[in-house]
Amino acid sequence: QVQLEESGGGLVQAGGSLRLSCAASGRTLSRPAMGWFRQAPGKEREIVAAISWNGGITYYVDSVKGRFTISRDNAKSAVYLQMNSLKPEDTAVYYCAGSSRVLGRVVSAYDYWGQGTQVTVSS
């Protein structure tokens, strides 16, 4: 059983920064891609960023390009999302997820999920 635990969410003013962390434990997939998703009230869960096992391939949704950076530390079984220049529209619950694929861009590509951490950006 794989467990993912997100941390680092909170309330921040527009223009501010947050760094989300995701720690994996238990029996993880072999060489999983990892992704960050978010879900705002009344909206579908969407991909924010994803990273391949060795970090050589990354993907960002257009709305966060240039502001967010995904990274991972496989020695620590951790993945991070550095979020800069935050906007009110970034407000959502952010989820960490793991995939057996090289890189996943959709919800269905991911095999296990964390419980989420709330990010609220005030204007």
Q: What was the pLDDT predicted at 87?
A: 98
Segments in the chain below pLDDT 50: none
Q: What was the pLDDT predicted at 31?
A: 85
The 3 state secondary structure assigned to 71-123 is EEEHHHCEEEEEECCCCHHHCEEEEEEEECCCCCCCHHHCCEECCCEEEEEEC
